[in-house]
Amino acid sequence: MSLFNSKKTEDKWEKKYFSLLDEQEKLEKDQQQKEQLLCKIITRLALVSIGVSPQLDPYLTQIRKQLKKGLINDNLKQQLEQFSDTLLKLDDTSVKQDPKCLIEFLQRQFPRRKTEFERVYTLWQQGNYRTQHDMLLALHELVDEEQAVVSDIPKQQLDVDLICRQLLKLLENTDIPEPFSQRAEHLKIQLQDGEPLPILLEETLSLLADIKKHLLQERQDMARFLSQISSQLHALGNQTQGITDAFVQGNKKRNLLDQSFTQQMQDLQQNSANATDLDSLKQLVSSSLENITQQLGQHQQQEKTTQQQTQQKIDQLNSKIKQLEDESSMLETQLQQARHLAFNDPLTQLPNRLAYDERLEAELARFRRNGTPLSMAIWDIDFFKKINDSFGHKAGDKTLQIIGRLLQQHCREMDFIARFGGEEFVMLLPDTHSDAALIIAEKLRKTIEKTGFNSGGHKIRITVSCGISQFSPDDTAEAVFKRADAALYKAKNNGRNQCVIEPAQTT
């Protein structure tokens, strides 16, 4: 009987144990879902809050980065503390927006203080706080009182591959100036090779910071150059005005001389008529001629001096104009080089995404103006990651260069091809229906299929997939790109190395 009771008791505790395990598992799953939802809400809140205050933006960005890794105790808590401290240091006039978003953020981050945060918000609406700074002090006190905000949340494993892919995508969508192209390519290789994450993050941030500093320096140099040109043009204007004034003064002096000669001739004529003897007439004529000769000599000497000064100013003006022409020519060359670097991909020498955006705007304007057909094709290299992983990144770079060259050489002169990012290329085909675009794309695909290269003694075969869509009158560029991308996805799923059309939806 005792054995029976013992067995029954064990079964009872076993059921209770497993029941508790199920309940614990359910609670952990529910907690995980809540954490994911919290991360998503805070991330979106941080995105919406970007731009409210320049002092807060860096911390909002760091908070979003930490949330992508999960709710990690120390890092997230540190960022929240820095965010809170910065809030306190803001001027009263720096943030004038309704703090409702901030209140909601704090309520989700500190659920145990939800009611207290709501009370602070109500007092703010009622005008009980003299300034927003006072309201922030009240919020800060509540945050300080909550000591264990994320201390009980378990650390989650970082998805390093996802972070590396996002960093790689960030670099590929960033226009890298020529001085930083090699450094950027080296960093891309490190991201693909899976170097330690802290090193990758530090190097990426350092690269982006240096690029920003470089662009700022270029902008400052351009501003100084334009200021210098403006000063030189102002000096030229003054010199030109001086030459003009010299000519005006010369004309005035000549007019005065003419008036003086005319008056003296009239006086001479009148005096000659009144002369009573030959001696007095001779003396009168001699005196008048001597006076005229003296005035004429003085005028000629002044004219000569003025001409020399004017010629000197003209020579200086010509010299400055020549200098400006040389500087203008040099600036034009530099601008052409800068435009080439800004609008071209350094690896494939194809136009980049920035150039694509500019050309797309022109082609769309022509399409809407003339009503001529326009199609878009998106190309993607098949198994590109496998080429990189198996044969190295040099082989991957060579693959991109070969594909870029073949697409450019074998497309029509009117077509536009650009490297969109990574192993993806985009093509605009003016005056072309989607069926005709498919024929052109198929020829290109077959040409690429026949091409390969050797790397380290291995024959590497290259194929591409392509998605095509045609613009309709009511289409946006984003809608057509989305359809072409969907067609590319179908081509990939159907076995790759093929071209697929995605027509516009008819209503």
Catalytic residue numbers? 423
**481 CA to centre of own chain:** 21
Characterize the bridge pairing of strands 416-421 and 424-430.
antiparallel
Percentage helix, strand, coil for the chain under 3-state DSSP, each rounded to 5: 70, 10, 20
Could you tell me the sign of the dihedral formed by the alpha carbons of 405, 407, 412, 414, in that order?
negative
3-class secondary structure for 76-112? HHHHHHHHHHHHHHCCCCCCCCCCHHHHHHHHHHCHH
How far is it, in rounded angstroms, from Cα 399 to Cα 405? 10
How far is it, in rounded angstroms, from Cα 58 to Cα 46? 10
How far is it, in rounded angstroms, from Cα 29 to Cα 379? 41
Q: Phi/psi zone of residue 486: left (φ > 0), alpha (ψ -120 to 50 degrees), beta?
A: alpha
How far is it, in rounded angstroms, from Cα 440 to Cα 395? 27
455 forms beta bridges with: 458
How far is it, in rounded angstroms, from Cα 347 to Cα 324? 36
Name every residue whose Cβ is closer than 8 Å to that of residue 434 and which is 6 or more positions away in sequence.
375, 468, 469, 470, 501, 503
Q: What is the DSSP string of 273-305?
A: HH--SHHHHHHHHHHHHHHHHHHHHHHHHHHHH
Q: What is the DSSP string of 205-244?
A: HHHHHHHHHHHHHHHHHHHHHHHHHHHHHHHHHHHHHHHH
Q: Which two tokens stand for residue 311?
A: 């010629």
Q: Which two tokens stand for residue 4?
A: 């029976």
Residue with token string 């990144």: 393
How far is it, in rounded angstroms, from Cα 320 to Cα 325? 8
Q: Find out whether 260 and 295 touch, Cβ atoms under 8 Å.
A: yes
Angle among Cα 414, 417, 418 to the nearest 5 degrees reads 145
Report which of 248, 221, 246, 228 is spatially closest to residue 320, judged by C-alpha positions: 228
Quote the radius of gyration of the chain (alpha carbons, Å): 41
Q: What SS3 class is residue 131?
A: coil
